[in-house]
Amino acid sequence: MKGPAIAPRRLGAAAWAALASAGVSLAVAAPGLGRMVLTQDETATLSAVSRSLPAVVRLCAHEDGVLLGYYLLLRLWASVAGTSPASLRIPSALCAAGAAAVVSLLVTRLTGPAGGLVAGLAVALCPAVTMHAREARPYALTLLLAATSTLLLVRALDAPPGGDRARWAWWAVSLVALGAAQLTAVMLLAAHLLVVVARRPADRRRLTEPLVAAGAALVLLLPVAYVGWRQRGAVSWIPATTARAVGTLPAGVLGSAALAYLALGLAAVAVAVTVARRRPPEAVVAGLAIAVVPALVLVTVSAWLPLVRPRYLLFTLVGWALLAGAAVGGRRAVAVVAVALLAAAVVPSQVALWRPVRPGQVDTRAMARVLGGQERPGDAIVVPTDRGRRVRVALAAYTAARPRDVLVVRSAAAAGALDARECRPGTCLGTPPRLWVACVGACRTPLEGLRPETAAAIRSGGWVACREWPVTGGSLALYARPAC
């Protein structure tokens, strides 16, 4: 089941396919890096990297400990490029482009340049990849590391007996990096071991190196797993796993129902060709394992600790791309048809991604614009903070001149937390003549998005509502005392 060697003549085609895939990925994702409004998850990243390296470590001792590696890398990047939303997203865009290129090289190695180009473009045009390429979060990095780890696995399997120890060591290093970027992505190891067993079913001696390498990687990741278990309350908001949630995973992982149907169709073609030839190619075995096994593991684990979220399985896109490449093989005419179908399937979802505010998020940039035009000296502001709503962090990203945040008694960095520490509202609201109130979600009244005790303190303090500015996903209201 060894993948075909790449002849020198085909090596140039493989490089061009990889470069084309990376170029398309950047062309699709890069124009939106500055347009998109910060999501609540991105405010966590911004909060983390807007402090010193020791402060990042201190933060991760209490919150987001499994993201310490990502935060440290992005902190180093921010020290050079700054912390604007667009700057913080550039690494994700580059990782997404790199993932498309590596997947293209991987599939070219196993099926040929035609299949490699289709697989690379599938990653480049995938709406879920585009979304995470425009997000300052670790999922695009995870996809790149998963693709790289799979390529290193194939290289190690192709090595002659006795000459693969260094290659297995590099594979282990890639697994450690993968787990450090996203702990749940270690589920890829189960798929990789299945590929190893399928490749070497009768050679037990050659199973030793991959098993030792995998064991070493898991041992090195034990501290990350321990921190993740201690801080498992961070994912307590994920609802219990249902059959419906599991059924929508393919569309959620790929970011498009149409693309999910196409991916399933190409997978079926790849399997049918495999059955007809009675000789399963490595691309199909690896593709099925990577696309399916981690999802099964995640669903099984979610019976005890709910973790079924599509972004946690973005790395399985490597498997779907492998299956697409296997369906195409070396047939250029089929590749042309596959690319045309791929483009048609992703257009609606890609168009939807150009909305500057993600569904379920609030347009804090619009709030900042209102404050910039309406704020007066002596104004104060109160923002919602429950359920990870870091509105004050997002507002700080879009405007330096904003009203005094009256509830803050300790900055986020000083508190070693993602958000600032607040006082009891009844004791620190003070008597500002005008009070701005931010609301997140479908609030019937501006105060509805605040904690009940904060809302009660505002009502009892004599402030009355003067005006409200609706924004996407929320609103900003102005209160005054004794009257408007």
pLDDT tens-digit readout, 413-442: 999 999 999 998 777 888 899 999 999 988
- Three-state SS at 464: strand
Q: In angstroms, what CA-CA distances link 93 with 10, 27, 84, 476?
A: 28, 10, 15, 32
Average pLDDT, rounded, for the chain: 91
Query: Is 136 within 8 Å of 86 (Cβ atoms)?
Result: no
The percentage of the chain sitting over the pLDDT mark of 90, rounded to a whole number, equals 77
pLDDT tens digits for range 251-310: 999 999 999 999 999 999 999 988 887 666 888 999 999 999 999 999 999 999 999 999
**Confidence grade of residue 326 (pLDDT, cut at 50, 70, 90):** very high
Q: What is the pTM of this model?
A: 0.93
Task: State how beta strands 404-405 and 380-382 pair.
Answer: parallel
**Confidence grade of residue 329 (pLDDT, cut at 50, 70, 90):** confident
Q: What is the pLDDT of residue 174?
A: 97
| Helix, strand, coil shares, percent, the chain, to 5 | 65, 5, 25
Peptide linkage before 482 cis (omega within 30 of 0) = yes
C-alpha to C-alpha distance for 18 and 458, rounded to whole angstroms: 58
C-alpha to C-alpha distance for 316 and 129, rounded to whole angstroms: 12
In this model, does residue 6 exceed pLDDT 80?
no
Q: What is the pLDDT of residue 79?
A: 95
Report the b/e string of 292-304 with b at 16+ CB within 10 A. bbbbebbbeebee
**Confidence grade of residue 8 (pLDDT, cut at 50, 70, 90):** very low
Listed residue (1, 22, 2, 19) closest to 11, CA to CA? 19
Give, rounded to a whole angstrom, the gap between the first and last alpha carbons of the chain.
77
The mean per-residue pLDDT over the stretch 442-452 comes to 88
pLDDT tens digits for range 159-208: 876 667 899 999 999 999 999 999 999 999 999 999 998 876 656 667 88
